[in-house]
Amino acid sequence: MSTGEDFSERRGRRAAFLGALYAATEGHVAEFVAASEIASALGIGGPELARMLAYLEERQWIAVDDHRAGIVRITAAGVDRVEAGPTG
């Protein structure tokens, strides 16, 4: 069973990924990037990345263009989320 700290860490990694995607695309919703490149820079990989992408896509903060290749883009909702900051 996960602890509150585990949840907090997971939430932080998702926020870091979304922020890094925002930075990589400069907030442009039509810019696609490889999720693995962003994840690798953050030390995220394998099953955790797959779960993270599913969560972020479900929240409509990212769109996955190619699930096999992990090609993603940030959505307008994702941009708003990042720009709202941690309390947004």
Whole-number Å distance between alpha carbons of 85 and 88: 5
Quote the pLDDT of residue 68.
83
Task: Return the C-alpha torsion angle 37, 41, 44, 47, nearest 10.
Answer: 20
Fold of 4-84: Arc Repressor Mutant, subunit A (1.10.10)
Going residue by residue through the chain, which has 88 residues, state the pLDDT in tens, using 9 for 90 and above.
456 668 899 999 999 999 999 999 999 999 999 999 999 999 998 899 999 999 999 999 999 998 888 899 999 999 999 999 876 5
| Domain assignments of the chain as residue spans, ordered by start | 4-84
> Given strand 33-34, what is the order of strands in its sheet?
33-34, 71-74, 62-66
| pTM to 2 decimal places | 0.89
